[in-house]
Amino acid sequence: MATKDRSQHGQRPVLSCAVMALKGGVGKSTTTLGLAGAAWERGLRTLVVDLDPQANTTAALDPGSFRYTSSDVLADARPGVAADAVVQSGWGVGLDVLPSERALEHRAVSVGQDSAQRLRVSLTGVVDTYDVVLVDCPPSLGELTRNALAAVQLALVVTEPSFFALPGAEQALGALSIVRAEANLALRAAGILVNRARPQTSEHAFRLAELRAAYGDLVLATVVPERTSVQQAQGACVPIQTWRSPGAREVADAYEDVLDSLLLRATTNLTAPLTGTEHP
């Protein structure tokens, strides 16, 4: 797929996407990192906004020292104030991060009217210098996730092929629909990504088929395989795209395909359904 020249700044990003799941431990942060690495490897100027108080994405991006975090940004919420907190990641030039910290937990409650718009306002003008903006959400529909969904054009739901996959996807899409109606009419579902898959096992194959039967084309054709190289790359604070192993290459290829799918949804009139097979 042709990608946008990084010199064409001064416009909104080609892709702004929240990576979400209402269940923890499904690889939401891993997905954010994989997509960020795929975009960065293509030369797309990329910003990762870490809105998870666990700050796993921040740790893996290894930005070094920083003065402000997403907690400070949400507390202030003036237009463009996020610029003061954005720092370069340890992965290299062209991949920046708005880091998180544990104190962000204190921002997970509503602070009055337009509370869900605080991130969007703080990013005013800041995101215009990026091609791709990815927001890593906490595993709940609290005020942090609402802020993430109010600030982006797409939301990617991440799940594992487990017993909880179907109800988890349903809850996430329902939450997306609520935020769309209340805070961001431009928001669309980018799809459901199945992560840590072993399709050769009967249980994973069954759960994947179950998801496809319920949500059809909303389930992305690409599934991300379970490989130990993912944890190895994260432990070394490097993108999976640079880890030298067959498993890492397989995972990196999957994220390339997912990024293509997200860019296609972001740059065409194609709109994914919010629930089931119904279109908004």
Question: What is the tally of structural domains in the chain?
Answer: 1
Question: What pLDDT was estimated at residue 116?
Answer: 93
Nearest to 259 by CA among 87, 19, 69, 76: 19
For residue 63, is it within any domain? yes
More confident of the two residues 1 and 202: 202
Q: Does residue 183 lie in a domain region?
A: yes
- Taken in order 174, 178, 183, 187, is the CA torsion positive or negative? positive
Query: What confidence score (pLDDT) does residue 184 get?
Result: 95
Is the pLDDT at 5 greater than 50? The verdict is no
- Domain assignment of residue 3, yes or no: no
Q: Considering the domain boundaries, does residue 1 fall inside one?
A: no
The mean pLDDT of 133-142, rounded to a whole number, is: 93
- Indicate the pairing of strand 87-88 with strand 95-98: antiparallel
Using the structure block, give the residue that is written with the tokens 């939401």: 28
Give the pTM: 0.91
Mean pLDDT for 253-257 is 97
Quick one: pLDDT at residue 145?
A: 95
Judge whether residue 8 has pLDDT over 70: no
- Whose CA is closest to 220, among 193, 251, 188, 255? 193
Q: Are 48 and 36 in contact (CB under 8 A)?
A: yes
The alpha-carbon radius of gyration of the chain (Å, integer) is 17
In a domain? residue 99: yes
How confident is the prediction for the chain on average, in pLDDT? 90
Give residue 23's pLDDT: 84
pLDDT band for 269, please (50, 70, 90 cuts): low
In a domain, 274, yes or no: no
Q: What single letter denotes the amino acid at residue 144?
A: L
- Binned at pLDDT 50, 70 and 90, residue 270 comes out as very low
Say yes or no to pLDDT of 137 above 90.
Answer: yes
Strand order in the sheet with 95-98: 87-88, 95-98, 46-50, 132-136, 15-20, 154-159, 188-197, 219-225
Residue 42, SS3 per DSSP: coil
CATH number of the CATH domain containing 200: 3.40.50.300
Burial class (CB in 10 A: 0-12, 13-18, 19+), 11: exposed
- The reported pLDDT for the residue numbered 271 is 45
pLDDT by residue (tens digit) across 10-40?
Answer: 467 899 999 999 888 899 999 999 999 999 9
In a domain, 137, yes or no: yes
Average pLDDT (67-84) is: 96
- The DSSP bridge partners found for residue 48 are 97, 134
Instruction: Summarize pLDDT for 184-239 with one digit per residue, the tens.
Output: 999 999 999 999 999 889 999 999 999 999 999 999 999 999 999 999 999 999 99
Instruction: Give the CA-trace dihedral at 191, 220, 48, 88, to 10 degrees.
Output: -160
Judge whether 176 lies within some domain.
yes
189 bridge partner residues: 155, 272
- Mean pLDDT on 50-74: 96
Residues 243 and 233: beta-carbon distance below 8 Å: yes
pLDDT of residue 148: 97
Which structural domain range is residue 115 located in?
Answer: 15-267
The pLDDT-based confidence of 7 (bands split at 50, 70, 90) is: very low
